[in-house]
Amino acid sequence: MEHVRDVSRLPKAHLHLHFTGSMRPTTLLELADKYGVHLPDALTSGEPPRLRATDERGWFRFQRLYDIARSCLRTPDDIRRLVREAAEEDLKDGSGWLEIQVDPTSYAPMLGGLIPALEIILDAVESASRETGLGIRVLVAANRMKHPLDARTLARLAVRHADRGIVGFGLSNDERRGMARDFDRAFAIAREGGLLAAPHGGELSGPASVRDCLDDLRASRIGHGVRAAEDPRLLRKLAERQVTCEVCPASNVALGVYEKPEDVPLRTLYDAGVPMALGADDPLLFGSRLAAQYEFARRHHDFTDTELAELARQSVRGSAAPAPVRDGMLAGIDDWLKEEPTGV
C-alpha cells in the first residue's frame, strides 16, 4: 500500500478558473430548468465531453456548450450563487486563494450593461469571500475574437475597479485567432494601472504564442503555456524571468491538446525550473476541480509529495495574494509535509 498525503489538505492558490466554467453541474441543471433552457446531452450526462478543440469543429462545440451554460446565469442571485459555490468547492480542495477569470461583456446583456455586470460580479466576489473566508480576487479577460478596441475598454474598466478586487488582465478564447500584438495597448493600459498581465498562450497554438505573450504583452503569467515545452530556449526564458504558467492538465487532455494524461509535459516544465500554478480551467466541462490536478501530477507523472508541495508554493508565489496570506499559505504547505502520510 502506497503512503501519501491528502492533496485536498495541501494549501494552494487557484489562478486559472473561468467564471461560468466554475459552475457545479447540479446548479446548471437547476438553473436550466428554472429558465427553460434545453441542455445538450454533453452537459447532462455526468461525463466530461471529449471536445477535441484542436480542430475547428471541436473548438466550436466547446464554445457552444460554454455559451449555453452561461445563458443560464441571468440575475444577480445567480451570479452570487455561482461565486459562493465556486469558493466552497475551492475550500474543499485546499485552496487558500482564488483568482477567478471573467469577461463581463458576456454577462452584460442579462445584467443591465457592462458596468452593472462587472459591479454585480465584484459584489458577489466580495460577499463570497466574506461568507466563506476564502481570499478571492478577479482577473478581467478580454476576448481575442473581438476587436482590440473592446479590450481597451475592458482594460480601462478593470483599472478603474482595481480597488474593488481586480488584480489582473487576461486574454482568452482561441489563440489561433488574432495576433497578441493587436492587444498590446489594452495590456499597456492594464499594466500601467497596476494589474498583472496574464494572457492565454501555448495551448491550442505552439511555443510562438507564448513568446508573443512575453514580447508583445509583457506577460507576468501565462494562461496554460504548456506548449512552451517544445522550445528549450523558451523554457529557459520562462525560468529566468520566473513567469508562472497556469497549467490545467485535465483540460489539456479533454480538449485534445495532448492525447493521454502522460503526454502533458508537467515534468518538462518542472525540471526546466518554469513555475507552475495548476488550475481546473472549466470544471463544469472537464469534470475535475483543483485537488484533482495535483492528483493528476501524482498519478500520471510520479510527482512526490515534496514535489507537489513545491507546485503549491509556486502557485502561491505566482498569485496576487498579499504578503500575510502568502506567508500563511507557505507555512501551511510546510506543515502539510510534516503530516504523517496515510495509506491509499
- For the annotated catalytic residues, the residue numbers are 203
Tell me how crowded residue 163 is: count the other CB atoms within 10 A of its CB.
8
Question: How many angstroms separate the Cα of 303 from the Cα of each of 185, 265, 270, 293, 299?
Answer: 40, 12, 10, 12, 8
Residue 277 zone, left/alpha/beta (φ > 0; ψ -120 to 50; rest): beta
Question: Cell digits for 312?
Answer: 503549491
Q: Give me the residues paired with residue 99 across strands.
A: 137
Q: Is 276 helix (H, G, I), strand (E, B) or coil?
A: strand
Q: Give me the residues paired with residue 142 across strands.
A: 171
Helix axes 184-192, 148-160, angle to 10 degrees: 10
The answer to whether 304 and 7 have CB atoms below 8 angstroms apart is no
Grid-cell match 469577461, residue found:
103
Q: Give me the residues paired with residue 222 across strands.
A: 245
Question: Cell digits for 171?
Answer: 486574454
